[in-house]
Amino acid sequence: MTLTVEDLTGYVERDFDADLTRFLTDRPALDDLDLSDVRPIEPFLARLPAPAAAALAAFDRLVRSGTLPEFLDVAEWSYGFDFAANDCGILDSDYETRLSDDDVYSIGADGGGNLWVVLTNGQVAIWFHEEEVLEEGTRFDNLDVFLWSYVRYEAVRDGTLDLAEVEADFLALGQDGALQPELGLLASMRA
């Protein structure tokens, strides 16, 4: 059966925590995060479509619970990053449209200083720190699809999941952030 984007609606609320336990074993919990100075998430949740808000709220609860294993480079500096307070600009991938903190909420990093952000339309993209732009070809339709993909990406990289078991699903989902030849998750797993 071919996996679809619609099949993953509700994934963060339903299956994400179990997949973390199943695929990312032996990772310590992020139980010492001090998120007291992190941008509040509630104003951003109000700007999202309902399914995206539900997914982000569920992810936020897990991050703040102290039970999320080391994942997605979630840290005090990468989660809820305040772009304006840090004098960082945000350009959309067209390099012309200026965005603000009201338009994105960061949920983690990629290990190279770039931030994964949720946009108000529910999509997820990478904010490239060197150019302060949402990198073209890095988007996922929504947080459910992104987190499903990223759990499997990290599991393949850790050796707890074989690429052959998920490659067809990545192709079927058709996400730019997974399929982009140079930057996509699938290209990184194949390397």
Residue 179, in any domain of the structure:
yes
CB 39 within 8 A of CB 101: yes
In-domain check, residue 1? no
Kindly report, residue by residue over 16-42, the tens digit of the pLDDT: 999 999 999 889 999 999 999 899 999
Residue 190, classed as helix, strand or coil, is: helix
Q: Is 43 inside a domain boundary?
A: yes
Residue pair 74/30 in contact by the 8 Å Cβ criterion:
yes
With a cut of 90, say whether residue 75 has pLDDT above it. yes
Residue 102 pLDDT level (bands cut at 50, 70, 90): very high
Query: Residue 123 pLDDT > 90, yes or no?
Result: yes
Task: Kindly state whether residue 163 falls inside one of the protein's structural domains.
Answer: yes
Query: In 3D, which of 70, 49, 187, 182 has the Cα closest to residue 128?
Result: 182
36 lies in some domain: yes
Residue 2 lies in a domain: no
Number of domains in the chain: 1
Domain-embedded: residue 18: yes
CA distance 78 to 74: 6
Give the domain extent around 175.
7-190
Q: And the tokens for 4?
A: 């679809």
Who contacts 46 (Cβ-Cβ below 8 Å, separation ≥6)? 53
Q: Position of tokens 């949720």?
A: 118
Indicate whether 92 pLDDT > 90: yes
